[in-house]
Structure 1
Amino acid sequence: MTQCMGQWQLELFFKRKQELQDKILPFLRQNNLTRLNITNKNRKDDLLQSVATIYDGLPEARLCVHYALKWNSKGSPEATLKAFQDFCQQLAQYKGASVLLVSGTRPGKSDSVQALQMLKNHSHPPTCNVPVAVAFNPYFPDQADFEREKHRLESKLQTGMVDSIYLQNGNDLQRLREGLSFIQQTKGSKSSVQVLGSVFLPSKKLLAQMKFRPWNGVFLSKDFLSSVEKAEEITVQILSVYAQHGVLPLLESNIQKVDELRHALDLFKQGSSHASSSGNSTS
Protein backbone atom coordinates (compact mmCIF):
# COMPACT_ATOMS: atom_id res chain seq x y z
CA MET A 1 0.00 0.00 0.00
CA THR A 2 1.79 3.13 -1.21
CA GLN A 3 -0.67 5.89 -0.37
CA CYS A 4 -3.21 6.30 2.42
CA MET A 5 -6.43 8.25 2.05
CA GLY A 6 -6.89 11.65 3.68
CA GLN A 7 -5.42 13.07 6.85
CA TRP A 8 -5.65 11.05 10.04
CA GLN A 9 -3.43 10.06 12.94
CA LEU A 10 -2.35 6.60 14.09
CA GLU A 11 -1.65 5.84 17.74
CA LEU A 12 1.31 3.52 18.15
CA PHE A 13 1.32 0.54 20.52
CA PHE A 14 4.68 -0.84 21.65
CA LYS A 15 6.38 -1.89 24.87
CA ARG A 16 10.06 -1.95 23.90
CA LYS A 17 12.41 0.07 21.72
CA GLN A 18 13.34 -3.07 19.79
CA GLU A 19 9.70 -3.69 18.87
CA LEU A 20 9.40 -0.12 17.64
CA GLN A 21 12.56 -0.40 15.54
CA ASP A 22 12.13 -3.88 14.10
CA LYS A 23 8.39 -4.20 13.61
CA ILE A 24 6.49 -0.93 13.76
CA LEU A 25 8.77 1.46 11.88
CA PRO A 26 9.14 -0.82 8.83
CA PHE A 27 5.35 -1.12 8.66
CA LEU A 28 4.97 2.66 8.89
CA ARG A 29 7.52 3.26 6.13
CA GLN A 30 5.99 0.61 3.88
CA ASN A 31 2.57 2.24 4.12
CA ASN A 32 3.59 5.92 4.18
CA LEU A 33 2.16 6.44 7.65
CA THR A 34 3.72 9.59 9.12
CA ARG A 35 1.01 11.25 11.26
CA LEU A 36 1.51 9.47 14.57
CA ASN A 37 0.78 9.59 18.31
CA ILE A 38 2.56 7.94 21.21
CA THR A 39 1.04 7.74 24.69
CA ASN A 40 2.38 8.14 28.22
CA LYS A 41 1.04 5.24 30.29
CA ASN A 42 3.38 5.17 33.31
CA ARG A 43 6.37 6.78 35.02
CA LYS A 44 8.82 4.44 33.30
CA ASP A 45 8.00 5.67 29.78
CA ASP A 46 11.09 7.19 28.15
CA LEU A 47 9.19 9.48 25.81
CA LEU A 48 12.21 11.28 24.36
CA GLN A 49 13.94 7.98 23.59
CA SER A 50 10.83 6.83 21.71
CA VAL A 51 10.69 10.14 19.85
CA ALA A 52 14.35 9.85 18.82
CA THR A 53 13.82 6.27 17.63
CA ILE A 54 10.81 7.25 15.53
CA TYR A 55 12.53 10.22 13.88
CA ASP A 56 15.70 8.20 13.25
CA GLY A 57 13.65 5.65 11.33
CA LEU A 58 11.03 8.02 9.92
CA PRO A 59 12.43 11.58 9.58
CA GLU A 60 9.26 12.82 7.86
CA ALA A 61 7.09 11.89 10.86
CA ARG A 62 4.61 14.33 12.34
CA LEU A 63 4.46 13.06 15.89
CA CYS A 64 2.20 14.07 18.77
CA VAL A 65 3.59 12.96 22.14
CA HIS A 66 1.09 12.50 24.97
CA TYR A 67 2.49 13.93 28.21
CA ALA A 68 0.64 12.99 31.41
CA LEU A 69 1.31 15.27 34.36
CA LYS A 70 0.32 12.40 36.67
CA TRP A 71 3.34 10.39 35.52
CA ASN A 72 5.70 13.37 35.34
CA SER A 73 4.91 15.08 38.63
CA LYS A 74 7.92 16.57 40.42
CA GLY A 75 6.35 17.22 43.80
CA SER A 76 5.07 20.75 43.26
CA PRO A 77 3.13 22.47 40.46
CA GLU A 78 6.10 24.76 39.78
CA ALA A 79 8.62 21.92 39.49
CA THR A 80 6.20 19.87 37.42
CA LEU A 81 5.68 22.78 35.02
CA LYS A 82 9.45 23.32 34.73
CA ALA A 83 9.89 19.65 33.80
CA PHE A 84 7.19 20.00 31.13
CA GLN A 85 8.87 23.10 29.67
CA ASP A 86 12.23 21.31 29.60
CA PHE A 87 10.59 18.36 27.85
CA CYS A 88 9.06 20.65 25.21
CA GLN A 89 12.38 22.36 24.63
CA GLN A 90 14.00 19.01 23.86
CA LEU A 91 11.03 17.93 21.74
CA ALA A 92 11.31 21.10 19.65
CA GLN A 93 14.41 19.79 17.86
CA TYR A 94 12.18 17.37 15.94
CA LYS A 95 10.35 18.88 12.98
CA GLY A 96 6.59 18.44 13.10
CA ALA A 97 6.52 17.33 16.74
CA SER A 98 3.76 18.43 19.13
CA VAL A 99 2.62 17.56 22.63
CA LEU A 100 -0.77 16.56 24.05
CA LEU A 101 -0.85 17.76 27.66
CA VAL A 102 -3.18 15.75 29.90
CA SER A 103 -3.66 15.56 33.64
CA GLY A 104 -3.69 11.78 33.56
CA THR A 105 -5.82 11.67 36.69
CA ARG A 106 -8.60 13.54 38.41
CA PRO A 107 -7.86 17.28 38.54
CA GLY A 108 -5.60 18.03 41.47
CA LYS A 109 -1.97 18.87 42.14
CA SER A 110 -0.89 17.85 38.64
CA ASP A 111 -3.58 19.37 36.47
CA SER A 112 -3.47 20.43 32.82
CA VAL A 113 -5.67 23.51 33.34
CA GLN A 114 -3.48 24.76 36.17
CA ALA A 115 -0.30 24.03 34.19
CA LEU A 116 -1.49 26.04 31.17
CA GLN A 117 -2.60 28.93 33.38
CA MET A 118 0.76 28.96 35.13
CA LEU A 119 2.53 28.80 31.80
CA LYS A 120 0.59 31.81 30.58
CA ASN A 121 1.24 33.83 33.72
CA HIS A 122 4.89 32.92 34.36
CA SER A 123 6.39 32.78 30.86
CA HIS A 124 7.12 35.96 28.88
CA PRO A 125 6.11 35.50 26.18
CA PRO A 126 4.12 32.31 26.97
CA THR A 127 5.73 29.49 25.05
CA CYS A 128 6.18 25.73 25.03
CA ASN A 129 8.50 25.65 21.98
CA VAL A 130 6.15 23.12 20.32
CA PRO A 131 2.41 23.16 19.48
CA VAL A 132 0.29 22.15 22.48
CA ALA A 133 -2.84 20.01 22.30
CA VAL A 134 -5.39 19.38 25.06
CA ALA A 135 -8.02 16.71 25.62
CA PHE A 136 -11.80 17.04 25.77
CA ASN A 137 -14.27 14.30 26.66
CA PRO A 138 -17.78 15.09 25.32
CA TYR A 139 -19.20 11.72 26.37
CA PHE A 140 -19.81 12.03 30.12
CA PRO A 141 -23.30 10.56 30.73
CA ASP A 142 -23.86 12.77 33.77
CA GLN A 143 -24.77 16.32 32.79
CA ALA A 144 -22.84 17.84 35.72
CA ASP A 145 -19.68 16.01 34.63
CA PHE A 146 -20.26 17.16 31.05
CA GLU A 147 -20.63 20.79 32.15
CA ARG A 148 -17.49 20.52 34.28
CA GLU A 149 -15.56 19.16 31.30
CA LYS A 150 -16.78 22.02 29.10
CA HIS A 151 -15.69 24.54 31.72
CA ARG A 152 -12.24 22.96 31.84
CA LEU A 153 -11.88 23.17 28.06
CA GLU A 154 -12.99 26.78 28.11
CA SER A 155 -10.33 27.54 30.75
CA LYS A 156 -7.67 25.81 28.64
CA LEU A 157 -8.59 27.76 25.52
CA GLN A 158 -8.62 31.05 27.42
CA THR A 159 -4.90 30.69 28.12
CA GLY A 160 -4.18 31.12 24.41
CA MET A 161 -1.73 28.21 24.62
CA VAL A 162 -3.84 25.63 22.79
CA ASP A 163 -3.15 24.69 19.17
CA SER A 164 -5.39 21.62 18.91
CA ILE A 165 -8.02 19.61 20.78
CA TYR A 166 -8.25 15.83 20.99
CA LEU A 167 -11.67 14.28 21.59
CA GLN A 168 -11.87 11.24 23.85
CA ASN A 169 -13.26 7.99 22.45
CA GLY A 170 -16.97 7.24 22.87
CA ASN A 171 -20.08 6.66 20.78
CA ASP A 172 -22.95 8.88 21.97
CA LEU A 173 -23.61 10.81 18.77
CA GLN A 174 -25.81 13.40 20.45
CA ARG A 175 -23.13 14.17 23.04
CA LEU A 176 -20.51 14.30 20.28
CA ARG A 177 -22.50 16.87 18.31
CA GLU A 178 -23.12 18.90 21.47
CA GLY A 179 -19.41 18.81 22.26
CA LEU A 180 -18.41 19.89 18.76
CA SER A 181 -20.95 22.71 18.82
CA PHE A 182 -19.51 23.87 22.14
CA ILE A 183 -15.97 23.76 20.75
CA GLN A 184 -17.00 25.83 17.74
CA GLN A 185 -18.68 28.44 19.94
CA THR A 186 -15.84 28.53 22.46
CA LYS A 187 -12.89 28.76 20.12
CA GLY A 188 -14.75 31.44 18.11
CA SER A 189 -12.40 33.26 15.79
CA LYS A 190 -9.50 30.96 16.68
CA SER A 191 -10.15 28.87 13.59
CA SER A 192 -6.54 27.67 13.57
CA VAL A 193 -7.30 25.39 16.53
CA GLN A 194 -7.50 21.93 14.96
CA VAL A 195 -9.86 19.28 16.35
CA LEU A 196 -8.97 15.59 16.26
CA GLY A 197 -11.26 12.77 17.32
CA SER A 198 -10.45 9.31 18.63
CA VAL A 199 -11.97 6.24 17.01
CA PHE A 200 -11.50 2.48 17.30
CA LEU A 201 -11.16 -0.19 14.65
CA PRO A 202 -13.74 -2.61 16.12
CA SER A 203 -12.71 -6.22 16.71
CA LYS A 204 -13.86 -9.08 18.93
CA LYS A 205 -10.79 -8.61 21.11
CA LEU A 206 -11.44 -4.88 21.53
CA LEU A 207 -15.11 -5.34 22.41
CA ALA A 208 -14.27 -8.04 24.97
CA GLN A 209 -11.69 -5.77 26.57
CA MET A 210 -14.05 -2.81 26.70
CA LYS A 211 -16.80 -4.94 28.25
CA PHE A 212 -14.72 -6.34 31.08
CA ARG A 213 -11.87 -3.83 31.53
CA PRO A 214 -12.99 -0.58 29.88
CA TRP A 215 -10.53 2.27 29.58
CA ASN A 216 -11.00 5.05 32.09
CA GLY A 217 -13.21 7.81 30.69
CA VAL A 218 -14.29 5.83 27.61
CA PHE A 219 -18.08 5.47 27.49
CA LEU A 220 -19.36 2.85 25.04
CA SER A 221 -22.99 1.77 24.80
CA LYS A 222 -24.29 -1.80 25.06
CA ASP A 223 -25.33 -1.42 21.43
CA PHE A 224 -21.74 -0.65 20.39
CA LEU A 225 -20.39 -3.55 22.44
CA SER A 226 -22.99 -6.04 21.17
CA SER A 227 -21.12 -7.07 18.00
CA VAL A 228 -18.31 -6.07 15.67
CA GLU A 229 -20.85 -5.37 12.93
CA LYS A 230 -22.85 -2.98 15.11
CA ALA A 231 -19.69 -1.31 16.39
CA GLU A 232 -18.53 -0.73 12.81
CA GLU A 233 -21.91 0.73 11.87
CA ILE A 234 -21.69 3.18 14.76
CA THR A 235 -18.04 3.93 13.98
CA VAL A 236 -19.00 4.97 10.45
CA GLN A 237 -21.60 7.32 11.95
CA ILE A 238 -18.96 8.83 14.23
CA LEU A 239 -16.59 9.28 11.30
CA SER A 240 -19.41 10.92 9.35
CA VAL A 241 -19.88 13.49 12.14
CA TYR A 242 -16.12 14.03 12.18
CA ALA A 243 -16.10 14.64 8.42
CA GLN A 244 -19.00 17.08 8.67
CA HIS A 245 -17.14 19.14 11.27
CA GLY A 246 -13.62 18.94 9.85
CA VAL A 247 -12.37 16.67 12.64
CA LEU A 248 -9.30 14.56 11.85
CA PRO A 249 -9.59 10.96 13.10
CA LEU A 250 -7.09 9.49 15.55
CA LEU A 251 -7.14 5.72 15.18
CA GLU A 252 -6.63 4.26 18.68
CA SER A 253 -6.11 0.65 17.67
CA ASN A 254 -3.00 -1.47 17.32
CA ILE A 255 -2.63 -1.53 13.53
CA GLN A 256 0.35 -3.58 12.37
CA LYS A 257 -1.05 -5.52 9.40
CA VAL A 258 -1.96 -4.32 5.92
CA ASP A 259 -5.42 -5.90 6.03
CA GLU A 260 -6.19 -4.06 9.28
CA LEU A 261 -5.03 -0.80 7.71
CA ARG A 262 -7.16 -1.38 4.61
CA HIS A 263 -10.19 -2.12 6.77
CA ALA A 264 -9.68 1.08 8.78
CA LEU A 265 -9.33 3.14 5.59
CA ASP A 266 -12.52 1.57 4.26
CA LEU A 267 -14.38 2.71 7.38
CA PHE A 268 -12.92 6.21 6.93
CA LYS A 269 -14.12 6.19 3.33
CA GLN A 270 -17.60 5.08 4.37
CA GLY A 271 -17.74 7.84 6.96
CA SER A 272 -16.73 10.48 4.40
CA SER A 273 -19.24 9.17 1.87
CA HIS A 274 -22.00 9.18 4.49
CA ALA A 275 -21.14 12.79 5.39
CA SER A 276 -21.17 13.87 1.74
CA SER A 277 -24.49 12.19 1.05
CA SER A 278 -26.04 13.97 4.03
CA GLY A 279 -25.35 17.32 2.38
CA ASN A 280 -23.93 18.77 5.60
CA SER A 281 -20.21 18.70 4.86
CA THR A 282 -18.36 21.75 6.18
CA SER A 283 -14.97 21.15 4.62
Structure 2
Amino acid sequence: MSSIPVSWRLELFFKSKKELQERVVPFLKENSITRVNLTNKTKEDQLLECCRIITSAVPSAQICVHYSLKWNYNQSVEQSFQAFADFCATLSEDKQSSMLLVSGGGKKRKLDSVEALQRAAACENIRAAPPIYVAFNPYFPSKADAAEERKRLTRKLDTGLVRGIYLQMGTDMEKLEQGLDFLKDVSRNQHGNPIDLFGSVFLPTKRLLAQMRFRPWNGVFLSEEYLSSVDRARAITTDILAMYSQHGVVPLVESNICTTQELRQCLDLLEARP
Protein backbone atom coordinates (compact mmCIF):
# COMPACT_ATOMS: atom_id res chain seq x y z
CA MET A 1 0.00 0.00 0.00
CA SER A 2 1.11 3.56 -0.66
CA SER A 3 2.31 5.73 2.19
CA ILE A 4 -0.33 6.65 4.76
CA PRO A 5 -1.14 10.36 5.21
CA VAL A 6 -0.37 11.66 8.68
CA SER A 7 -3.25 14.12 8.94
CA TRP A 8 -5.83 11.70 10.37
CA ARG A 9 -6.28 9.38 13.33
CA LEU A 10 -7.82 5.92 13.67
CA GLU A 11 -9.93 4.71 16.58
CA LEU A 12 -9.10 1.11 17.50
CA PHE A 13 -11.71 -1.61 17.98
CA PHE A 14 -10.95 -4.86 19.81
CA LYS A 15 -12.54 -6.98 22.54
CA SER A 16 -9.47 -8.43 24.27
CA LYS A 17 -5.74 -7.98 24.70
CA LYS A 18 -5.29 -11.11 22.63
CA GLU A 19 -7.18 -9.58 19.71
CA LEU A 20 -5.16 -6.39 20.11
CA GLN A 21 -1.90 -8.36 19.94
CA GLU A 22 -2.85 -10.82 17.21
CA ARG A 23 -4.97 -8.71 14.86
CA VAL A 24 -4.81 -4.97 15.54
CA VAL A 25 -1.08 -4.47 16.18
CA PRO A 26 0.04 -6.43 13.08
CA PHE A 27 -2.43 -4.38 11.00
CA LEU A 28 -0.98 -1.14 12.36
CA LYS A 29 2.59 -2.27 11.66
CA GLU A 30 1.82 -3.56 8.18
CA ASN A 31 0.19 -0.28 7.15
CA SER A 32 2.48 2.12 9.06
CA ILE A 33 -0.41 3.54 11.06
CA THR A 34 0.90 5.35 14.13
CA ARG A 35 -1.74 7.91 15.15
CA VAL A 36 -4.44 5.98 17.00
CA ASN A 37 -7.08 6.41 19.69
CA LEU A 38 -7.67 3.88 22.44
CA THR A 39 -11.23 4.04 23.79
CA ASN A 40 -12.60 3.41 27.29
CA LYS A 41 -16.04 1.82 27.14
CA THR A 42 -16.17 -0.53 30.15
CA LYS A 43 -14.89 -0.76 33.71
CA GLU A 44 -12.72 -3.70 32.69
CA ASP A 45 -10.67 -1.84 30.06
CA GLN A 46 -6.96 -2.16 30.81
CA LEU A 47 -5.94 1.07 29.14
CA LEU A 48 -2.36 1.37 30.29
CA GLU A 49 -1.57 -2.28 29.52
CA CYS A 50 -3.09 -1.94 26.05
CA CYS A 51 -1.09 1.22 25.52
CA ARG A 52 2.11 -0.64 26.42
CA ILE A 53 1.24 -3.47 24.02
CA ILE A 54 0.89 -1.00 21.16
CA THR A 55 3.98 1.07 21.91
CA SER A 56 6.18 -1.98 22.45
CA ALA A 57 5.31 -3.20 18.94
CA VAL A 58 5.02 0.23 17.30
CA PRO A 59 7.50 2.51 19.11
CA SER A 60 6.51 5.52 17.01
CA ALA A 61 2.83 5.18 17.96
CA GLN A 62 1.13 8.39 19.09
CA ILE A 63 -1.76 7.13 21.19
CA CYS A 64 -4.61 9.23 22.51
CA VAL A 65 -5.98 7.24 25.44
CA HIS A 66 -9.62 7.97 26.24
CA TYR A 67 -10.35 8.17 29.97
CA SER A 68 -13.98 7.93 31.09
CA LEU A 69 -14.66 9.26 34.58
CA LYS A 70 -17.89 7.25 34.58
CA TRP A 71 -16.15 3.92 34.04
CA ASN A 72 -13.26 4.78 36.37
CA TYR A 73 -15.38 6.09 39.23
CA ASN A 74 -14.15 4.62 42.52
CA GLN A 75 -16.48 4.92 45.56
CA SER A 76 -16.04 8.67 46.13
CA VAL A 77 -15.08 11.86 44.35
CA GLU A 78 -11.76 11.99 46.19
CA GLN A 79 -10.79 8.40 45.37
CA SER A 80 -11.93 8.78 41.78
CA PHE A 81 -9.89 11.95 41.34
CA GLN A 82 -6.84 10.25 42.85
CA ALA A 83 -7.26 7.39 40.38
CA PHE A 84 -7.36 9.96 37.57
CA ALA A 85 -4.22 11.67 38.93
CA ASP A 86 -2.40 8.34 39.19
CA PHE A 87 -3.41 7.48 35.63
CA CYS A 88 -2.04 10.83 34.41
CA ALA A 89 1.24 10.24 36.21
CA THR A 90 1.71 6.80 34.65
CA LEU A 91 0.67 7.89 31.17
CA SER A 92 3.08 10.83 31.33
CA GLU A 93 5.97 8.34 31.20
CA ASP A 94 5.18 7.88 27.50
CA LYS A 95 6.08 11.24 25.96
CA GLN A 96 4.11 10.48 22.76
CA SER A 97 0.79 9.72 24.46
CA SER A 98 -2.12 12.04 25.15
CA MET A 99 -5.48 11.73 26.91
CA LEU A 100 -9.07 12.46 25.93
CA LEU A 101 -10.91 13.11 29.19
CA VAL A 102 -14.66 12.47 29.06
CA SER A 103 -17.40 12.34 31.66
CA GLY A 104 -19.00 9.27 30.08
CA GLY A 105 -22.47 8.77 28.64
CA GLY A 106 -25.75 8.89 30.53
CA LYS A 107 -26.20 10.51 33.93
CA LYS A 108 -22.98 12.21 34.99
CA ARG A 109 -21.12 11.13 38.11
CA LYS A 110 -20.31 13.61 40.87
CA LEU A 111 -16.84 13.81 39.33
CA ASP A 112 -17.30 14.83 35.72
CA SER A 113 -14.78 16.24 33.25
CA VAL A 114 -15.34 19.87 34.32
CA GLU A 115 -14.86 19.09 38.02
CA ALA A 116 -11.85 16.87 37.36
CA LEU A 117 -10.08 19.57 35.33
CA GLN A 118 -10.82 22.24 37.90
CA ARG A 119 -9.35 20.04 40.64
CA ALA A 120 -6.41 19.15 38.42
CA ALA A 121 -5.60 22.81 37.78
CA ALA A 122 -4.47 23.08 41.40
CA CYS A 123 -2.27 19.97 41.23
CA GLU A 124 1.28 20.54 40.02
CA ASN A 125 1.84 16.87 39.17
CA ILE A 126 -1.12 16.80 36.80
CA ARG A 127 0.07 19.99 35.13
CA ALA A 128 3.09 17.91 34.07
CA ALA A 129 0.83 15.19 32.61
CA PRO A 130 0.51 14.34 28.90
CA PRO A 131 -1.61 16.67 26.74
CA ILE A 132 -5.23 16.54 27.91
CA TYR A 133 -8.01 16.83 25.35
CA VAL A 134 -11.75 17.23 25.90
CA ALA A 135 -14.89 16.55 23.86
CA PHE A 136 -17.33 19.01 22.31
CA ASN A 137 -20.66 18.27 20.62
CA PRO A 138 -21.87 21.08 18.31
CA TYR A 139 -24.93 19.13 17.12
CA PHE A 140 -27.45 19.30 20.00
CA PRO A 141 -30.91 20.04 18.55
CA SER A 142 -32.05 21.84 21.72
CA LYS A 143 -30.83 25.42 22.17
CA ALA A 144 -30.65 24.86 25.92
CA ASP A 145 -28.49 21.75 25.52
CA ALA A 146 -26.27 23.52 22.98
CA ALA A 147 -25.80 26.49 25.33
CA GLU A 148 -24.94 24.18 28.23
CA GLU A 149 -22.39 22.32 26.08
CA ARG A 150 -20.67 25.60 25.18
CA LYS A 151 -20.71 26.71 28.81
CA ARG A 152 -19.11 23.45 29.94
CA LEU A 153 -16.42 23.69 27.27
CA THR A 154 -15.58 27.24 28.31
CA ARG A 155 -15.20 26.10 31.93
CA LYS A 156 -12.86 23.32 30.82
CA LEU A 157 -10.74 25.72 28.76
CA ASP A 158 -10.60 28.17 31.68
CA THR A 159 -8.53 25.65 33.66
CA GLY A 160 -5.62 26.15 31.27
CA LEU A 161 -5.05 22.39 31.04
CA VAL A 162 -6.81 21.67 27.75
CA ARG A 163 -4.50 21.16 24.78
CA GLY A 164 -7.05 19.98 22.25
CA ILE A 165 -10.72 19.40 21.47
CA TYR A 166 -12.42 16.40 19.85
CA LEU A 167 -15.68 17.16 18.03
CA GLN A 168 -18.48 14.61 18.16
CA MET A 169 -19.76 13.08 14.93
CA GLY A 170 -22.91 14.61 13.41
CA THR A 171 -24.37 15.67 10.08
CA ASP A 172 -25.91 19.15 10.51
CA MET A 173 -23.47 21.27 8.50
CA GLU A 174 -24.88 24.56 9.76
CA LYS A 175 -24.43 23.54 13.39
CA LEU A 176 -20.93 22.25 12.63
CA GLU A 177 -19.91 25.57 11.07
CA GLN A 178 -21.37 27.49 14.00
CA GLY A 179 -19.54 25.21 16.41
CA LEU A 180 -16.24 25.69 14.60
CA ASP A 181 -16.70 29.47 14.62
CA PHE A 182 -17.32 29.27 18.38
CA LEU A 183 -14.16 27.20 18.86
CA LYS A 184 -12.18 29.73 16.87
CA ASP A 185 -13.26 32.41 19.34
CA VAL A 186 -12.62 30.49 22.56
CA SER A 187 -9.95 27.88 21.82
CA ARG A 188 -6.79 29.41 23.20
CA ASN A 189 -5.18 28.10 26.36
CA GLN A 190 -3.88 30.26 29.21
CA HIS A 191 -0.53 30.70 27.44
CA GLY A 192 -2.18 32.08 24.31
CA ASN A 193 -1.43 28.97 22.24
CA PRO A 194 -4.05 27.70 19.78
CA ILE A 195 -5.91 24.54 20.70
CA ASP A 196 -5.55 21.44 18.49
CA LEU A 197 -8.83 20.36 16.88
CA PHE A 198 -9.95 16.84 15.95
CA GLY A 199 -13.26 15.77 14.44
CA SER A 200 -15.00 12.42 14.26
CA VAL A 201 -16.18 10.79 11.03
CA PHE A 202 -17.48 7.36 10.11
CA LEU A 203 -16.60 5.20 7.13
CA PRO A 204 -20.16 4.69 5.82
CA THR A 205 -21.23 1.08 5.24
CA LYS A 206 -24.62 -0.65 5.14
CA ARG A 207 -23.86 -2.27 8.47
CA LEU A 208 -22.94 1.05 10.11
CA LEU A 209 -26.08 2.80 8.83
CA ALA A 210 -28.28 -0.07 10.07
CA GLN A 211 -26.63 0.10 13.49
CA MET A 212 -27.02 3.87 13.74
CA ARG A 213 -30.63 3.71 12.64
CA PHE A 214 -31.76 1.05 15.10
CA ARG A 215 -29.26 1.50 17.94
CA PRO A 216 -27.69 4.98 17.61
CA TRP A 217 -24.80 6.04 19.80
CA ASN A 218 -25.60 8.43 22.61
CA GLY A 219 -25.13 12.05 21.52
CA VAL A 220 -24.61 11.23 17.84
CA PHE A 221 -27.17 13.10 15.70
CA LEU A 222 -27.40 11.76 12.14
CA SER A 223 -29.91 13.01 9.56
CA GLU A 224 -32.39 10.82 7.70
CA GLU A 225 -30.57 11.75 4.51
CA TYR A 226 -27.29 10.41 5.92
CA LEU A 227 -28.96 7.19 7.05
CA SER A 228 -30.81 6.70 3.74
CA SER A 229 -27.91 5.18 1.77
CA VAL A 230 -24.17 4.62 1.74
CA ASP A 231 -23.78 6.98 -1.22
CA ARG A 232 -25.55 9.86 0.55
CA ALA A 233 -23.61 9.17 3.75
CA ARG A 234 -20.33 9.29 1.83
CA ALA A 235 -21.32 12.55 0.13
CA ILE A 236 -22.18 14.15 3.48
CA THR A 237 -18.97 12.82 5.01
CA THR A 238 -17.02 14.41 2.17
CA ASP A 239 -18.68 17.76 2.97
CA ILE A 240 -17.78 17.36 6.65
CA LEU A 241 -14.17 16.56 5.79
CA ALA A 242 -13.99 19.61 3.53
CA MET A 243 -15.15 21.83 6.39
CA TYR A 244 -12.68 20.15 8.74
CA SER A 245 -9.92 20.93 6.27
CA GLN A 246 -10.94 24.59 6.06
CA HIS A 247 -10.77 24.92 9.85
CA GLY A 248 -7.62 22.86 10.46
CA VAL A 249 -9.48 19.94 12.07
CA VAL A 250 -7.73 16.55 12.01
CA PRO A 251 -10.20 13.72 11.22
CA LEU A 252 -10.65 10.85 13.67
CA VAL A 253 -12.10 7.79 11.91
CA GLU A 254 -14.46 6.09 14.37
CA SER A 255 -15.02 2.92 12.34
CA ASN A 256 -13.59 -0.56 12.72
CA ILE A 257 -10.94 -0.54 9.99
CA CYS A 258 -9.19 -3.90 10.03
CA THR A 259 -8.55 -4.97 6.43
CA THR A 260 -6.51 -3.55 3.58
CA GLN A 261 -9.67 -3.02 1.54
CA GLU A 262 -11.37 -1.08 4.35
CA LEU A 263 -8.25 1.01 4.81
CA ARG A 264 -8.15 1.82 1.09
CA GLN A 265 -11.81 2.87 1.19
CA CYS A 266 -11.08 5.00 4.25
CA LEU A 267 -8.12 6.73 2.59
CA ASP A 268 -10.11 7.33 -0.59
CA LEU A 269 -12.80 9.03 1.50
CA LEU A 270 -10.29 11.12 3.44
CA GLU A 271 -8.66 12.28 0.24
CA ALA A 272 -11.93 13.11 -1.52
CA ARG A 273 -13.09 16.70 -1.89
CA PRO A 274 -16.45 17.98 -3.19
Band the TM-score falls in, shorter-chain normalisation: over 0.9
Residue 65 of structure 2 contacts residue 99 of structure 2 at CA under 8 Å; is this kept in 1?
Answer: yes
Which residue of 236, 239, 259 corresponds with 1:237? 239
Counterpart secondary structure, 1:73: coil
Distance 1:38 1:126, change over 3 A: closer
Q: Answer yes or no: is 1:163 the counterpart of 2:170.
A: no
Which residue number corresponds to residue 108 of structure 2? 107
More off after superposition, 42-51 vs 61-70: 42-51
More off after superposition, 100-109 vs 24-33: 100-109
Which residue number corresponds to residue 213 of structure 2? 211
Counterpart secondary structure, 2:100: strand
Which residue number corresponds to residue 257 of structure 1? 259
- TM-score, length-normalised on structure 1? 0.92
Which residue number corresponds to residue 79 of structure 1? 79
Report deviation, 1:11.
0.2
Which residue number corresponds to residue 184 of structure 2? 184
Residue 85 of structure 1 contacts residue 128 of structure 1 at CA under 8 Å; is this kept in 2?
Answer: no
Identity among equivalent positions (%) equals 50
Q: Distance in 2 between matches of 1:246 and 1:191?
A: 15
Count of residue correspondences:
271
Report deviation, 1:128.
5.0
Which residue number corresponds to residue 281 of structure 1? none
The Cα offsets for residues 89-118 of structure 1, whole Å up to 9 and x where unpaired, read as: 111222310111000033340200011011
Gaps of 5+ in 2: none
Which residue number corresponds to residue 17 of structure 1? 17
Which residue number corresponds to residue 68 of structure 2? 68
Q: Distance in 1 between matches of 2:187 and 2:149?
A: 15
Residue 62 of structure 1 contacts residue 97 of structure 1 at CA under 8 Å; is this kept in 2?
Answer: yes
More off after superposition, 72-81 vs 151-160: 72-81
**What is the letter of the counterpart of residue 68 of structure 2?**
A
Residue 197 of structure 1 contacts residue 247 of structure 1 at CA under 8 Å; is this kept in 2?
Answer: yes
Report deviation, 1:136.
0.3
Report deviation, 1:227.
0.2
Report deviation, 1:56.
1.2
Which residue of 215, 220, 223 corresponds with 1:221? 223
- TM-score, length-normalised on structure 2? 0.95
Distance 1:11 1:225, change over 3 A: same
**What is the letter of the counterpart of residue 224 of structure 1?**
Y
Report deviation, 1:125.
6.8
Distance 1:126 1:6, change over 3 A: closer
Q: Distance in 2 between matches of 1:129 and 1:13?
A: 26
The ranges of structure 1 where at least 4 consecutive aligned residues each deviate by more than 6 angstroms after the TM superposition are none
Gaps of 5+ in 1: 275-283
Q: Give the alignment's Cα RMSD to 1 decimal.
A: 1.3
Residue 164 of structure 1 contacts residue 195 of structure 1 at CA under 8 Å; is this kept in 2?
Answer: yes
